[in-house]
Structure 1
């Protein structure tokens, strides 16, 4: 398959991307661009394809301003065009696996019975894993895969992002009502356009040399 994006274009956008410290609150992401970014989240890979998450897009300006105090006073959560709260599903049980298998059967036009073996493997992994497994930690690792896909997709579309762990998850869960919905916030990602006076935008990207970070065995 021919590359849709050239290697040079990919690297150019990854060099362009940085954790935006100051967003321009007057600039909004066009709807068609946002829809593509939203779909990039839905298309993110996860272990077994289970998608043990939900992505909450906070749109109310008053709520977002309220969240600044729960984000170490970082104003990106209020100033960015969009704010995504990436959260884990608190309970991944047999019923959830059955729901996923039923959906898979519908999408792939097969029977649930044909997928019973797969469903049993997943249930076995969750209840009797081959190694010590904390399901919440496992789900959090899946969320970071989705975060990476969102950030890369945004960079390719010329949209700025700022991944943020500097916030109080319990306060976010309380403010947004996530606990009652069965979810817990893990990481934030404001998206939008960098402010022209964000000094970090022009700072050289600091990374260890490639030969120090990549080793062939």
Structure 2
């Protein structure tokens, strides 16, 4: 694997081959990439909606009307589309669920370790609650998951399109996100680009190293 080659050749896909689907074993790996994404204090403050049928993608595409119509075909023609949503709150019962899962997965050497971890996580969440920025914080964590998904897709030879160009209110209503305590963060279309994807033919453009790095 040549990581630099992959980084240079992955791109934001502009048009998909709607007849080409991602094999199920590859999809399974992409979903595991999301599940194993890191988050602050292992809060995992997200939920992912996966659309792999025309009906499911059409529901998401409702949010790409009007101003965001340019993204409609990227949703409907892709093999899969994932809605990455963030939790609006992290209540005690959810934090308890995390602790129970960590216990089941063997993360604690003893009861004291569990109590210390739970106290630390609860305290960190409390700081964001007091600051009034918990939803913004959970959105940031969800974008970490997006990064893992995009890189994993490139490593597996799958094209992807991250999209903020959608109507959050429409999508929230369609998926009943508010009732679930969630807010949409970003969409990611996945599949294989078509010949109409002009971006696949363009060279990568990034600022030079000396502009973005300072060695101190």
TM-score (norm 2): 0.91
Give the stretch that moved more between structures: 33-42 or 61-70: 61-70
1:214 corresponds in structure 2 to 213
How far off is 1:90 after superposition?
A: 2.0
Question: Matched residues in 2 for 1:100 and 1:66: separation?
Answer: 31
Question: In the alignment, what sits opposite 1:194?
Answer: 193
Number of residue pairs aligned between Structure 1 and Structure 2: 210
CA contact (8 A) 1:86 1:186 kept: yes
Extract unaligned runs of 5+ from structure 2: none
1:94 maps to 2:53? no
Find the counterpart in structure 1 of residue 18 from structure 2: 25
Deviations 1:103-136 (A, max 9, x none): 1111116455531111111111222359945000
Higher helix share: 2
Ranges of 4+ aligned residues in structure 1 off by more than 4 Å: 109-113
Using the size of structure 1 for normalisation, the TM-score is: 0.90
Cα distance in 2 for partners of 1:107, 1:66 equals: 36
Counterpart Cα distance in 2 of 1:126 and 1:176: 26
Q: Match of 1:68?
A: 61
Q: What's the CA shift for 1:102? A: 1.2
Counterpart Cα distance in 1 of 2:17 and 2:166: 21
- Give the 3 Å change call, closer, same or farther, for CA 133–181 of structure 1 in structure 2: closer
Deviation track 1:122-151 (CA, whole Å, cap 9, x = no partner) reads 111222359945000000000110000000
Write out aligned runs for 1:14-163 (5 A): 14-71=7-64, 72-73=68-69, 74=71, 75-108=73-106, 110=108, 112-128=111-127, 132=131, 134-163=133-162
Q: Contact 1:80/1:190 (CA < 8 Å) preserved in 2?
A: yes
